[in-house]
């Protein structure tokens, strides 16, 4: 006769063994993008993050299917850019990433450790957060490298904008909501008419009280779709030229569009309006040398090169300007001996700005890392000023550049997508 306790033990072992050997779900390919793939887990991660953000902000969301479509679209665009980054040899080192994370922490008045704890408290893996930031930095470098050369700004454009800025008495900024109903670059008239009909329906829904951000998440093909189409605050001069005259003077809550462009039909909502204050600025006059690490030049070697330059300048063996002309990899300043001109420190990256703030006139900094590479700075002078004529020109140039860069980025992303092989394997 079999002992009941032995039978019981064997049963428990069988059940436990069955549980251990039970098949686990395996991640699978959802989209093929050229030579790369997008996994279902990546799609679900984005959907989960958007839902968590919506829950935190008490924001309603469209259907899961609409969210999924937007998540896949974002992953396709990111995949195409990351493939391009790989072909261009763009790699974000750990030292570069640590510098970026330090800047992020400082912008939120935190230490990096506090930032890590905050990320974990928000329910996210810090390791994944780091890799997401690494990817975002790589994407920024790819866009800057490919879109920058497409941006052309003439002296006439700067002069015209300066005149407009001088005539404009309003200091208002508009918080813009944006929905783009995309039209393929080689669309037939029938397709264009169909997209226009969709845009008109979206406007009708919004006029009848539908939630703008919910519809943006569900329907927009714009870069900020998953953020509810919110572009944040900007002056009319900083907006795409298509929107400038239409938005100027509008009140909070007003709806504009559809407006037609090469990308499709745009619907804009003025989410808020606020006044802008004019303040005095403390300007700095500095010069720097930039060395960019690469596969050939390591982080430590780049840093030690700059340390050697500092020693040569301090020992009277070389001039800072001569070293900048010969070695600096910042094309905008190298030919000027590294000089950056008079500028508000706020235009610089957080680490660059922080280093300048800690320096005395005539002092040379220790080498430090920013997202662009390793720098050494010499602070040449400081002053308190309103806007000089040169500063106004710089401001006009930056406004035009920001506007055109945004427009050209949308065009470039559309082009690389049109040229790519994309196959949705699983819906």
Residue 19 has pLDDT above 80, yes or no: no
Task: Tell me whether residue 309 is exposed, middle or buried, using C-beta atoms within 10 angstroms of its C-beta: 0 to 12, 13 to 18, 19 or more.
Answer: buried
Compute the half-sphere exposure of residue 332: CA atoms within 13 Å on the CB side of its CA: 4
Q: Do 287 and 333 touch, CB atoms closer than 8 A? A: yes
What pLDDT, on a 0 to 100 scale, did the predictor assign at position 27?
A: 77
Give the residue range(s) of CATH 3.10.50.40 domains in the chain.
167-278, 281-385
| Average pLDDT for 164-171 | 66
In the predicted model, is pLDDT for residue 176 greater than 70? yes
Tens of pLDDT, residues 387-406: 546 667 787 888 899 889 98
Q: Is the pLDDT of residue 3 over 50?
A: no
| Mean pLDDT value of segment 374-383 | 95
Confidence of residue 26 (pLDDT cuts 50, 70, 90): low
The confidence score (pLDDT) of residue 167 equals 64
Q: Per-residue pLDDT averaged across 165-182, rounded?
A: 81
Q: Looking at residue 389, what is its pLDDT?
A: 63
Mean pLDDT of the chain: 86
Q: Work out the average pLDDT over 35-40.
A: 92
Q: How confident is the model at residue 294 (pLDDT cuts 50, 70, 90)?
A: confident
For residue 387, the model assigns a pLDDT of 52
Do 175 and 271 meet the contact criterion of CB atoms below 8 Å apart? Answer: yes
Is residue 111's pLDDT more than 80? Answer: yes
Flag whether pLDDT at 251 surpasses 90: no
Q: What length is written for the chain?
A: 427
Which residue has better confidence, 130 or 27? 130
- How do residues 257-281 score in pLDDT, each as one tens digit? 899 998 999 999 999 988 744 446 7
pLDDT band of 106, cuts 50, 70, 90: confident
Fold of the domain spanning 167-278? Chitinase A; domain 3 (3.10.50)
* 281-385: CATH topology: Chitinase A; domain 3 (3.10.50)
Residues 324-356: pLDDT tens digits? 999 999 988 999 999 999 988 988 988 899 899
pLDDT, greater one: 114 or 249 = 114
Q: Which residue has the tokens 């003439």?
A: 154
pLDDT of residue 274: 86
Q: Rounded to whole angstroms, how far apart are CA atoms 132 and 249?
A: 39
User: What percent of the chain clears pLDDT 70, i.e. is strictly above it?
Assistant: 89
């Amino acid at each position: 006769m079999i002992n009941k306790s032995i039978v019981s033990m064997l049963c428990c072992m069988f059940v436990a063994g069955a549980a251990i050997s039970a098949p686990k779900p395996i991640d699978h390919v959802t989209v093929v993008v050229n030579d790369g793939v997008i996994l279902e887990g990546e799609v679900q991660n984005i959907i989960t993050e958007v839902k968590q953000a919506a829950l935190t902000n008490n924001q309603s969301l469209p259907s899961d299917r609409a969210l999924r479509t937007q998540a896949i679209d974002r992953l396709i665009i990111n995949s195409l850019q990351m493939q391009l980054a790989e072909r261009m040899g763009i790699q974000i080192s750990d030292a570069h990433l640590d510098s970026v994370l330090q800047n992020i922490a400082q912008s939120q008045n935190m230490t990096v450790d506090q930032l890590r704890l905050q990320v974990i408290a928000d329910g996210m893996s810090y390791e994944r957060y780091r890799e997401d930031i690494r990817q975002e930095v790589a994407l920024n470098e790819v866009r800057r490298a490919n879109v920058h050369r497409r941006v052309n700004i003439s002296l006439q454009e700067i002069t015209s904008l300066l005149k407009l800025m001088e005539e404009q008495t309003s200091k208002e900024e508009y918080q813009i909501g944006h929905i783009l109903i995309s039209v393929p670059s080689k669309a037939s008239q029938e397709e264009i008419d169909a997209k226009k009909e969709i845009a008109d329906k979206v406007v009708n829904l919004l006029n009848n009280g539908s939630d703008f951000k919910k519809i943006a998440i569900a329907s927009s093909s714009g870069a900020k779709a998953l953020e509810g189409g919110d572009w944040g605050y900007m002056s009319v001069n900083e907006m795409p030229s298509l929107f400038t005259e239409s938005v100027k003077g509008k009140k909070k809550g007003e709806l504009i569009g559809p407006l037609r462009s090469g990308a499709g039909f745009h619907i804009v909502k003025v989410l808020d309006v606020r006044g802008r204050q004019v303040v005095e600025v403390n300007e700095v006059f500095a010069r720097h040398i930039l060395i960019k690490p690469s596969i050939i030049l390591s982080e430590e070697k780049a840093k030690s090169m700059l340390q050697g330059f500092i020693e040569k300048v301090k020992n009277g063996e070389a001039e800072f300007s001569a070293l900048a002309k010969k070695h600096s990899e910042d094309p905008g300043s190298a030919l000027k001996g590294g000089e950056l001109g008079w500028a508000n420190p706020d235009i610089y990256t957080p680490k660059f700005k922080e280093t300048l703030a800690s320096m005395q006139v005539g002092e040379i900094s220790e080498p430090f890392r920013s997202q662009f590479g390793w720098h050494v700075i010499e602070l040449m002078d400081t002053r308190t000023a309103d806007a000089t004529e040169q500063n106004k020109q710089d401001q006009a140039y930056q406004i035009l550049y920001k506007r055109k860069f945004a427009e050209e980025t949308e065009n470039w992303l559309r082009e690389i997508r049109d040229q790519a092989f994309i196959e949705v394997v699983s819906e």
